[in-house]
């Protein structure tokens, strides 16, 4: 089979529409998708702050105190809040998508989506609880 | 309830114009009419030059996919009454070259579909005398969803990745590859892996998820692609860790 169609007279005169630079504003799910992709920047941001914190810790108590003071500036708090919201969006949207990628079969039957999503949230809660316990137990 | 509804339809006549234009027709509104009925009314009574594809009128043949008010739809399964008061905008599917009016060229998909080898591959066919390849209902269940695809191309039209990277194999072709990969009678998964894990395969997909939303047969191509990413990644790790581990 030839893949090139043969037309006469006016062909090929196909019309090809260009994809607009603003395609991601065309509908809400495209926008949500691009926002979800953008969240990776904020995840990276938290990783960088964490590395920065480790460096301050290695440089001694004075540097660490300076680091903590810098974290408390209004500008940083604002940035932190925005970044936190994006990371939440990242976590929630990806958790909700896990059943699409993970199909678990028990005794030949597919485990319902809500169970898989629920297990993700449960693990999240347990881990967050563990971290909170470690941080707060000496207070 | 209105007696008529306005249908705004894309016209593209390559012998007359260099870009598509819109033309509006006033069609009778009937509760039981789908968009395709309205288009046929135009063709039969108002303007015989309007071109569009259709065949079965019952969501099986996959010919009548078009964009209705911006969303890819099977026009035989989309009722006028859901779009009142109108006007209803009918356009050809996105990202495919438009041949004429609402007709798009699907050669690109046909070529890609063939690439993923959507048929049962056996290392060695067993002789006829040994009978059929048997399957349990559970085994059928693992791939049945992906086998419902009717190649209507709504998923390609909903996929911005396909628009931006036309070389992407695309949702339906990957879902159909997965349909055969998961079939207990098939032994061609390794052959398909070569095509699917290449640059234009699954890794182009960034999981927008729209393909699954627009699919009229609930095939879930986005799910098929993500599941296959997991398979391909596992395969890659195995190949890395175990010498000859993937056979």
Q: Is the per-residue pLDDT at A124 higher than 70? A: yes
Kindly identify which residue of chain A lies nearest to residue B139, measuring between CA atoms: A108
Closest Cα of chain B to A102: distance in Å? Answer: 6
Nearest-CB residue to A15 (from B97, B222, B227): B97
Give yes or no: residues B130 and B227 share one domain.
yes
| ipTM score of complex | 0.81
In angstroms, rounded to a whole number, what is the distance separating the alpha carbons of residues B109 and B169? 8
- A98 vs B contacts (CB less than 8 Å): none
> What is the model's pLDDT at position A109?
79
Same structural domain, B136 and B67: no
CA distance A95 to chain B (A): 13
Q: How many CB atoms lie within 10 A of CB A7?
A: 12
- Which chain A residue has its CA at the smallest distance from B226's CA? A101
DSSP state of B45: I
Q: Which residues contact A19 (CB under 8 A, 6 or more apart)?
A: B95, B160, B163, B164
Q: Are B26 and B6 in contact (CB under 8 A)?
A: yes
Q: Let me know if residue B11 belongs to a domain.
A: yes
Enclosing domain of residue B11:
4-104
Q: Answer yes or no: do B113 and B192 share one domain.
A: yes
**How does pLDDT run across B60-91, given as a tens digit for each residue?**
999 999 999 999 999 999 999 999 888 999 99
Q: What is the pLDDT of residues B183-203, one digit of tens each?
A: 999 999 999 998 898 889 999
pTM reported for the whole predicted model: 0.88
CA angle (A107 as vertex; A101, A112 as ends), nearest 5: 40
Here the CATH number for the domain that contains residue B188 is 1.10.1060.10
Share above pLDDT 90 across residues of chain B, in percent, rounded to a whole number: 85
Rg of chain B over Cα atoms, rounded to whole angstroms, equals 21
CATH number of the domain enclosing B87: 3.10.20.30
Give residue-wise pLDDT tens across range A9-64: 666 688 988 888 999 998 898 999 999 999 999 999 999 999 999 999 999 999 99
Residues B92 and B145 in one domain: no
Q: Does B165 touch chain A (CB under 8 A)?
A: no
| Disruptive mutation site among A101, A104, A116 for chain B (greatest number of B CBs within 10 Å) | A101
- The answer to whether residues B82 and B129 belong to one domain is no
SS3 string of B158-174?
A: HCHHHHHCCCCCCHHHH
Model confidence at B245: pLDDT above 60: no
Residue B247 lies in a domain: no
Whether residue B41 is contained in a domain is answered as yes
DSSP H or E segment with residue B86 = none
Set out the domains of chain A in order of their start, with CATH numbers. 35-136 (1.20.1300.10)
Among B182, B192, B175, B184, residue whose Cα is nearest residue B117: B192
Interacting residues of A35 by C-beta distance below 8 A, sequence separation 6+: A86, A89
Q: Give, as one character, the DSSP assignment of residue B31.
A: T
Burial class, B243, CB count within 10 angstroms (exposed 0-12 / middle 13-18 / buried 19+):
exposed
Per the structure, the count of domains in chain B is: 2
Q: Which residue of chain A comes nearest to B223, CA vs CA?
A: A100
User: Cβ separation of B210 and A19 shorter than 8 Å?
Assistant: no
The minimal CB distance from B111 to the residues A3, A16, A26 is found for A3
What are the chain B neighbours of A97 within 8 Å (beta carbons)? 207, 209, 226
Q: What's the pLDDT at A100? A: 86
């Amino acid at each position: 089979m030839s893949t090139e169609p043969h037309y006469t007279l006016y062909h090929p005169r196909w019309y090809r529409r260009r994809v607009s630079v603003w395609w991601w504003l065309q509908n809400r799910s495209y926008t949500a998708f691009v926002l979800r992709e953008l969240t990776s920047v904020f995840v990276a941001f938290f990783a960088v702050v964490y590395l920065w914190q480790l460096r301050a810790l290695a440089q001694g108590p004075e540097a660490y105190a300076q680091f903590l003071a810098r974290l408390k500036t209004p500008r940083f708090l604002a940035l932190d809040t925005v970044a936190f919201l994006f990371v939440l969006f990242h976590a929630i949207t990806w958790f909700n998508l896990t059943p699409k990628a993970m199909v678990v079969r028990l005794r030949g039957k597919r485990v319902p989506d809500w169970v898989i999503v629920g297990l993700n949230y449960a693990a999240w809660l347990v881990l967050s609880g563990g971290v909170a316990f470690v941080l707060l137990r000496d207070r | 309830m209105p007696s008529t509804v306005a249908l705004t339809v894309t016209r593209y006549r390559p012998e007359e114009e260099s870009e598509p234009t819109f033309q509006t027709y006033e069609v009778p509104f009937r509760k039981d009419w789908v968009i395709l009925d309205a288009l046929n009314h135009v063709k039969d009574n108002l303007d015989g030059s309007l071109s569009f594809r259709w065949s079965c009128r019952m969501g099986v043949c996959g010919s009548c996919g078009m964009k209705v008010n911006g969303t890819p739809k099977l026009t035989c399964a989309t009722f006028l009454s859901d779009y009142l008061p109108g006007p209803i905008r009918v356009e050809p599917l996105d990202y495919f070259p438009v041949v004429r009016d609402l007709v798009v060229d699907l050669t690109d998909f046909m070529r890609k579909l063939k690439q993923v080898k959507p048929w049962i591959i056996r290392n060695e066919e067993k002789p006829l005398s040994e009978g059929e390849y048997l399957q349990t209902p559970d085994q059928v269940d693992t791939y049945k969803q992906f086998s419902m695809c009717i190649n209507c191309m709504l998923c390609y039209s909903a996929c911005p990745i396909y628009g931006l990277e036309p070389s992407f194999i695309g949702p339906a072709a990957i879902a159909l590859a997965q349909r055969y990969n998961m079939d207990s009678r098939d032994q061609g998964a390794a052959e398909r892996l070569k095509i699917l894990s290449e640059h234009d395969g699954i890794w182009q997909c960034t999981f927008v998820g729209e393909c699954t939303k627009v699919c009229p047969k609930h095939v879930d191509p986005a799910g098929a692609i993500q599941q296959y990413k997991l398979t391909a990644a596992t395969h890659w790790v195995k190949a890395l860790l175990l010498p000859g581990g993937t056979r």
